[in-house]
A and B are shown apart, each in its own frame.
Chain A
Amino acid sequence: MTRSFLARNPSVLWFVLILSLFTLGVTLLSEAYGVALVSTSFVKTLGMTLCLCLVALAMDLIWGYAGILSLGHMAFFALGGYMIGMWLMYARTEDIVIAALANEPLPATAQEIRNGIAAQIFGVVGGSDLPAVWMFAHSLPIQLALVVLVPGVLALVFGWLAFRSRVTGVYLSILTQAMTLALALYLFQNDSGLRGNNGLSGLQNIPGLDAVGQDRLSVWFFWASALALGLGYVTLAWVVSGKFGSVIRAIRDDEARVRFLGYSVEGYKLFVFTLTAVIAAIAGALYYPQAGIINPAELAPIASIYLAVWVAIGGRGRLYGAVIGAAFVSLLSSWFTGGRAPQIDLGFYTINWVDWWLVLLGVAFVAVTLFAPKGIGGLFDLVQGLRRPDRKGAALGPDDSSLQEKEARE
């Protein structure tokens, strides 16, 4: 009974092994540290994909395990990106302003530098003052703390309000989507203090590391993303393997019954919601320095819906399923929408994948939901021969009130 954590979760070892080999492989093929077979931009794409895998893990915990279909986790992801982006942009602009003012006859005062930074950053939206939300942008430690704190507190307050009123199911999904939309619309405004629809840019330039060069920086960020994904996987595997995992899966299946066992269902949901929001934010803080730019379109509701699609296609309720889904679909998506997929000439019509990819994804999503609810991850069950016995038959109980056997309905 008391086997070790790794013995009970063989997927953890496999995952860490595959991730390490993948990281090593990419490093050896990179321009900076290897034979230059993989371009710097593709290393960035792979690093970003690892971040998407991390946020998909968070989505799997809250949706696949706890049964809460949140359509707001990409908002937390983007908020994490904004928080780190503020420091990146501020610190880089500060270097530029100081360099520009160095030619002046008098040394620049702190106020002059601050004004110069504000004018540089906010000139594009017609402002010249630094808004209050940039109060801590000069400090990397504070902004790093805010990466976790801002999405965490938002999730805590929003979740407390939503779960306390026992909003569940599709209504909760709508509520989280409304939160995401409201946040996106707010950030689109020029006077929101985060440069409106221009967003934050130039994030790929890390202040103080100008001499390093993007080829090496991209690999460093790739390593950081791989490390975060590995740690995230091990942590979440530990979270879901014990009694906590039992309780949240029980909440997914029958939350009223869990209440009568004495567990505070609302407390658990709030805990999971906040934890996954923080994980999403950390993933976002690693993603956007690789993407180089963030704007409010990144947290449009469609982004969170994509997230749900990745997890559904990969396989809900198993952590590696979420990772496979996110990696597979997002890489395939960039292949199709990048114009690299060959066009199909039907004679009367040419299928251009840039236009048709979304249709294909939609059809794939519907097909997976209908015919393979376990997603790609279900293939592992086939390999292991883990199929539930097919019992068929109707209700197995003696009266109408008894539950049907689950297998009988499948």
Chain B
Amino acid sequence: MSSLLEVSGVSVTFDGFRAINNLSFSIGPAELRAIIGPNGAGKTTFMDIVTGKTRPDTGRVLWGEKSISLLSLSEAQIARAGVGRKFQRPTVFEDQSVADNLMMALKAQRGPLSVLFWTPKPADHARVAALAAEVGLADALARKSGELSHGQKQWLEIGMLLAQEPQLLLVDEPAAGMTLAEREHTTRLLVDLAKTRAVVVVEHDMEFVRRLNCKVTVLHEGAVLAEGSLDHVTRNPQVIDVYLGRSER
């Protein structure tokens, strides 16, 4: 299976601190992958590199069938290429309505002029309504997103991510601050999504990862420590050492 994203030999140093150390990672076009690791393992930095926020010192990041290098693209170009990212904190535009937030994220031309002359067609309104229904915000379309609860903001952000129709989804701690029922909903959604696209979930919560039932990559000190099923990696003595020996959580 050819891979959608291939990261090889990537290293990043912040003021002498090696955040990512010769990291290699690849994911196929329709795959669910969980990334776990203790604090400071480089999970967020890894996402920053893929989305163009941080430039690595060495290494390659190749994308898609044509193997385009993501390193020469800006954040916006990478997002347009099909990489969507959900942050740990829900970041929605609080001053604007739920519908406006979704409409902005909807897959469409992104240039200033085409956006200026863009008008929503009935199909776009229908798509926004469908997305809102999917994330349980159908009744809140006209509300300002700043009025939503924390969990609802999480859902709105997931909805915005879906609206972008990315080929690769990077999701940072999706279950943080969600109720048990919401977690189950999130799990179902992520597993569903991974049938048609690549999904990378960064998560602390082992229980949640177990429910995802997918291949797991363990990061430690900026490099891949182990890879495989959750049961496989949790039997790995090095992983046990990192997680239990130094009692991270």
| A contact set with B: CB distance below 8 Å | 1-2, 239, 242-244, 246-247, 249-250, 253-254, 256-257, 259-265, 267-268, 271, 389, 396-399, 401-403, 405-407
Contacts and interface: CB of A to CB of B under 8 A. Distances in A.
A154 B119 CA distance: 31
Contacts of B80: 262
Most buried by A among B76, B79, B95, B119: B76
B106 to A, nearest CB: 9
Contact of B95 (A253, A263, A268): A253
The 9 A-B residue pairs whose C-beta atoms are closest, nearest first, are: A262-B79, A259-B75, A397-B150, A271-B112, A262-B80, A398-B177, A264-B76, A244-B116, A406-B146
Given A249-B95, A257-B91, A405-B146, A243 B79 contact: no
Nearest to B100: A246
A265 B74 CA distance: 11
Given A257-B91, A403-B89, A267 B146 contact: no
Contacts of A405: 146-147
A407 B143 CA distance: 14
A268 B115 CA distance: 10
Contacts of B115: 242-244, 247, 263
Contact of A254 (B77, B91, B119): B91
Nearest to B92: A257
B75 A247 contact: no
B51 A260 contact: yes
Contacts of B99: 1
B177 A399 contact: yes
B164 A261 contact: yes
Nearest to B142: A1
A265 B160 CA distance: 18
B120 interface: yes
Contacts of B77: 264
Contacts of B17: none
Given A244-B112, A246-B100, A268-B112, A253 B76 contact: no
Nearest to A250: B93
A407 B146 contact: yes
A401 B90 CA distance: 9
Given A259-B76, A401-B89, A253 B94 contact: yes
